[in-house]
Structure 1
Amino acid sequence: MTVTLYHNRACGTSRNVLAMIRAAGIEPVVVEYLKTPPTRADLDVLASRLVVPVRDLLRQRGTPYAELGLDNPALSDADLLDAIAAHPELLNRPVVMTDQAARPCRPKETLFDILPQAHGA
């Protein structure tokens, strides 16, 4: 199984989730999304595996969320993914993606929803 972590090493929650994944004996593919932003195609794959709404990928605090009008409920998932592609700081980190599922892992315990083997680690 491949586990991908969209990671920001400056974020404590992201560092904790990385440690939890590794404690479960899994070495994830770590994507430092601010240094290497995901492409729109990468975001489409991520969105196709989400177990939560695409809107949950958006981070509001410290981002151009309000300035871009992303609080508009009429925006489509494609609009939201386009915004993340253009402004990767909008990605609500950390995001964990497996072969079957993906979700933002804030709080860190939501990791167990898609990676139950991390629970006992």
Structure 2
Amino acid sequence: MHVTIWHNPACSNSRGALKLIRDAGFEPVVIDYLDSPPDIATLRQVLAESGLSAHELVRSKEQSFGELGLADADEATLLAAMAEHPRLINRPVVRTARGTRLCRPPETVLELL
């Protein structure tokens, strides 16, 4: 099975999900989304696949969230902000043939394997 993870090595949830994937015998495609941020179309696709809203995918505790005044932003504004400022994207996002999930807590990834 093909497994992709949007990964931030500084994030304990992301490291935990990656470990669980590898412990289950899969070597995922690891996307460092901070260096290679997804475009708006990809973000929309992930939202559609996961059933999440942009409000659920955005990291509202990130400093730039407040600096950019995103508290009352609509979906389009949040998507544009996440594409431009990838630190705003919550992680880890895992995509497999079984679905797409924001894997917080990391054990959520087991539903996809």
Q: TM-score range by the shorter chain?
A: 0.7 to 0.9
Structure 2 match to 1:83: 81
* Structure with the higher fraction of residues in helix conformation: 2
Write the distance in 2 (CA, Å) between the matches of 1:36 and 1:27. Answer: 19
Percent identity at matched positions? 46
Structure 2 match to 1:54: 54
Moved segments of 4+, more than 4 Å? none
Give the root-mean-square deviation of aligned CA atoms: 1.8
TM score, norm. by length of structure 2 = 0.86
The change in CA–CA distance for 1:62 and 1:53 in structure 2 (over 3 A counts) is: closer
Structure 1 match to 2:91: 93
1:49/1:100 contact within 8 Å kept: no
Report the AA paired with residue 92 of structure 2: P
The change in CA–CA distance for 1:54 and 1:98 in structure 2 (over 3 A counts) is: farther
Q: How far is the alpha carbon of 1:38 from its aligned partner?
A: 1.3
Gaps spanning 5+ residues in structure 1: where? Answer: none
Work out the number of aligned pairs and report it: 113
Q: Superposed, which structure 2 residues align to 1:1-121 within 5 Å?
A: 1-72=1-72, 75-76=74-75, 78-113=76-111, 115=112, 117=113
Q: Which moved more, 1:14-23 or 1:51-60?
A: 51-60
Q: Structure 1, residues 13-70: CA drift from partner, whole Å, max 9, x if none?
A: 1111001011111111111011111122222221221133331111122331122222
2:20/2:110 contact within 8 Å kept: no
2:20/2:107 contact within 8 Å kept: no
TM score, norm. by length of structure 1 = 0.81
Gaps spanning 5+ residues in structure 2: where? Answer: none
